Amino acid sequence: MDVVQVEHVSKKYLLGERLNARESLNAAAARVFRRRQRVGGELWSLRDVSFTLRDGESLGIVGRNGAGKSTILKILAGITAPTIGESRTRGRVAALLEVGTGFHPELTGRENIFLNGAILGMSRQDIKRRFEQIVDFSGVERFLDTPVKRYSSGMYLRLAFAVAAHLEPDVLVVDEILAVGDAEFQRKCIGRMEEAEQEGRTLIFVSHDLGTLSKLCMRSLWLESGAVRDAGETPTIVRDYLASGLFSTLGTTPLASAVAALYGVRVVPEGADANSVLMPGDRLLIEVDFEVTDPVPGLDLAIIVTAEGGTRVLDELVSDSGIGRLARGAFRATLAVPPLFNIGEFSVGVWFGTSHEDFLYEPAAATFSLHGSDMGRPERLLNLNLPIAVERLNGA
Partner 1 sequence: MVTSSGSPPDWQVNAAGRSKVIGAWLSVWRSRELIGFFALRDIRVLYKQAALGVLWVLLQPVATVVIFTLVFSRLANIDSQGIPYPLFALVGMVVWSYFSVATVRGSDVLVSNPQLVTKVSFPRIAAPAAAMLPPLVDMAVSLALVAVLFLYYGVSPTWRVLAAPACILLVVLAAFGTTLWLSALNVRYRDVQHAVGPLMQLWLFASPVAYPASLFEGWHALVYALNPMAGLLSIARWSLLGTPWPGWPAVVSLITLLAVLGTGLLYFTRTERSFADVI
State yes or no: residue 106 binds partner 1 (CB under 8 A): yes
Asked whether position 89 contacts partner 1 by CB under 8 A, the answer is: yes
Instruction: State yes or no: residue 133 binds partner 1 (CB under 8 A).
Output: no
CB of 30 to partner 1, least distance (A): 17
Q: Which of 306, 258, 268, 314 is nearest to 288 (CA)?
A: 268
Q: Determine, following the binding rule CB under 8 A, whether residue 27 of this chain makes contact with partner 1.
A: no
Distance in Å, CB of 177 to partner 1, minimum: 11
b/e burial code for range 248-269 (CB count within 10 A of at least 16 → b): bbbeeeebebebbbbbbbbbbb
Give the phi and the psi of residue 215 in degrees, each rounded to 5: -70, -40
Across the strands, what pairs with 60? Answer: 205, 220
Q: In what order do the strands lie in the sheet with 227-233?
A: 93-96, 171-174, 202-206, 58-62, 219-224, 227-233
Burial 328-356 (b: 16+ CB within 10 A, else e): eeeeebebebeebbbbbebbbbbbbbeee
Residue 16 binds partner 1 (CB under 8 A): no
Q: Are 303 and 349 in contact (CB under 8 A)?
A: yes
Q: Are 257 and 352 in contact (CB under 8 A)?
A: yes
Stretch that binds partner 1, among 118-126, 303-311, 354-362, 385-393 (CB under 8 A): 118-126
Give yes or no for residue 339 binding partner 1 (CB under 8 A): no
Check residue 247 for interaction with partner 1 (CB under 8 A).
Answer: no
Decide if 148 contacts 107 (C-beta within 8 A).
yes
Q: Minimal CA–CA distance to 43: which of 14, 9, 73?
A: 14
Which residue, 165 or 303, is less far from partner 1 as judged by CB? 165
The residue from 29, 119, 317, 384 that contacts partner 1 (CB under 8 A) is 119
The answer to whether 123 contacts partner 1 (rule: CB under 8 A) is: yes
- Least separation in angstroms between residue 127's CB and partner 1 is 9
Minimum distance from residue 33 beta carbon to partner 1 (Å): 22
Comparison of 170 and 209: residue with beta carbon closer to partner 1? 170
Pick the closest to residue 237 from 251, 253, 218 (CA basis).
Answer: 218
Per-residue contact flags (x/-) with partner 1 for residues 142 to 171, judged by CB under 8 A: ----------------------------x-
User: Of the candidates 121, 232, 235, 363, which one interacts with partner 1 according to CB under 8 A?
Assistant: 121
Residue 158 has a CB neighbour count (10 Å cut-off) of 23
The least CB distance from residue 147 to partner 1, in Å, is: 8
Q: Of these, 59, 67, 120, 165, which contacts partner 1 (CB under 8 A)?
A: 120
Let me know: does 67 contact 33? Beta carbons within 8 Å. no
Q: Cα–Cα distance between 98 and 18 in angstroms, integer?
A: 23
116 or 306: whose CB is closer to partner 1? 116
Q: How far is the CB of 7 from partner 1 (least distance, A)?
A: 9
| Per CB under 8 A, 75 contacts partner 1 | yes
Residues in contact with partner 1 by CB under 8 A are 1, 5, 13, 17-22, 24, 74-93, 95, 97-98, 101-102, 104, 106-107, 111, 114-115, 118-121, 123-124, 126, 170, 200
